[in-house]
Amino acid sequence: KQEVTQIPAALSVPEGENLVLNCSFTDSAIYNLQWFRQDPGKGLTSLLLIQSSQREQTSGRLNASLDKSSGRSTLYIAASQPGDSATYLCAVESAGNMLTFGGGTRLMVKP
């Protein structure tokens, strides 16, 4: 059974800091990994998707990396802003077309 863990569960940083969110998974036989953003009381918005054959993906100030062999992914946010405050979730697609989610990291960026 695939299990996904995100560390830290919560993070508070001052505006302008660069930060890293971590995601680990137990079964390295994944098809892809996706990072989502969730604002309070809202649905999930896809940020980045990394295929199993890729090592990283970038979108603006966001960079996601994938090390499938070690079962890890990181989401790097450069020059954080208060508008980045949200919960960030990672999800992996494994055999059986299932998406398994981590518990999320709640990020607060203080002005």
Partner 1 sequence: NAGVTQTPKFRILKIGQSMTLQCAQDMNHNYMYWYRQDPGMGLKLIYYSVGAGITDKGEVPNGYNVSRSTTEDFPLRLELAAPSQTSVYFCASRAYTEAFFGQGTRLTVV
Among 61, 81, 103, 110, binds partner 1 (CB under 8 A): 103
Min separation Cβ 16 and partner 1, Å? 27
> Nearest-CA neighbor of 50 among 66, 62, 29, 69?
66
Please, which residue, 25 or 81, has the CB nearer to partner 1? 25
Look at residue 8 and give its three-state secondary structure.
coil
Site for partner 1 in 17-76 (CB under 8 A): 32, 34, 36, 42-46, 49, 51
Counting every residue, how long is the chain?
111
Please state, in angstroms and as integers, the Cα–Cα distance from residue 78 to each residue in 58, 59, 61, 84, 99, following that order: 11, 11, 5, 10, 27
- Interface positions with partner 1 (CB under 8 A): 4, 6, 32, 34, 36, 42-46, 49, 51, 89, 91, 96-104
